[in-house]
Amino acid sequence: MTQAAHRGPFAHTVGSLLNTDGRAHPRENALASITLLLGLIAAITSIFSGLHVISSWTGLAGLLIGAVSQLISATTGQRFVTVIGMGAAGVGLYLGLSHGGLFPGWPG
């Protein structure tokens, strides 16, 4: 009964939270993690209006990579991480566009 072994409160890894079906999904986990990272960067940089170029491009990339991640995701954990990342990327993209757009020369 190895399933009943108690591993402690912090025994879960990111892989075990994303791979809830018991199989490894390295490509899907990587895409979900990249989407979350890009979303966080876009959302944080959107706070500062001078960083609108970074915010816009990382938000756009996060939404595109997140869409691919949603298409090939295998577990609910991967979908959860992807949706959170896409939401943050969308906020970063839209605020970045309102602060000046994708290119530095655009009026904003």
Is 92 part of any domain? yes
**Chain segment 41-81, per-residue pLDDT in tens:** 999 999 998 999 999 999 999 999 999 999 999 999 999 99
**Chain segment 87-104, per-residue pLDDT in tens:** 999 999 999 999 888 888
Contacts 24+ apart (CB under 8 A), 66-74: 66/35, 66/39, 68/31, 69/28, 69/31, 69/32, 69/34, 69/35, 72/27, 72/28, 72/31, 73/28, 73/31, 73/32, 74/21, 74/23, 74/25, 74/28
Number of domains within the chain: 1
pLDDT class of 24 with cuts at 50, 70, 90: confident
Is 58 part of any domain? yes
Segments forming the whole domain that contains residue 92? 25-99
The answer, as to whether pTM is greater than 0.85, is no
Q: Which residue has the tokens 């609108």?
A: 52
